[in-house]
Amino acid sequence: MHQAVQAEIRNYIIRLGLRPGDPLKPEAELARHFGVSRNSVREAVKALESTGVLETRRGSGVYVRDFSFRPLLDHLPYALMQGRRALSELAELRKTLEAGMIADAMRAMSQESVAAMRETLAAMRARAEKGEGFPEEDREFHRLLFADLGNEMLLSLFDLFWQAFHHAAPPGRGTPIRAYEWHAKIFDAILTGDPEVARAAIYDHYSGIEARLRDEPSGP
Q: What confidence tier does 195 reach under pLDDT thresholds 50, 70, 90?
A: very high
List, as own/partner pairs, every contact residues 101-106 make where C-beta atoms lie below 8 angstroms and the sequence separation is at least 24, other chains included: 101/146, 101/149, 101/154, 102/145, 102/195, 102/198, 102/199, 102/202, 103/195, 103/198, 103/199, 104/149, 105/145, 105/146, 105/148, 105/149, 106/190, 106/193, 106/195, 106/198
- 53 and 110: one domain? no
Residues 141-161 have pLDDT tens digits of 999 999 999 998 888 888 877
Number of domains in the chain: 2
Query: Is 168 found in the same domain as 105?
Result: yes
Residue range of the domain that includes 56: 2-64
- State pTM to two decimals: 0.66
Q: Do 49 and 149 belong to one domain?
A: no
**Which of 64, 92, 112 marks a domain boundary?**
64
Note the pLDDT tens digit of each residue in 38-57.
999 999 999 888 878 899 99
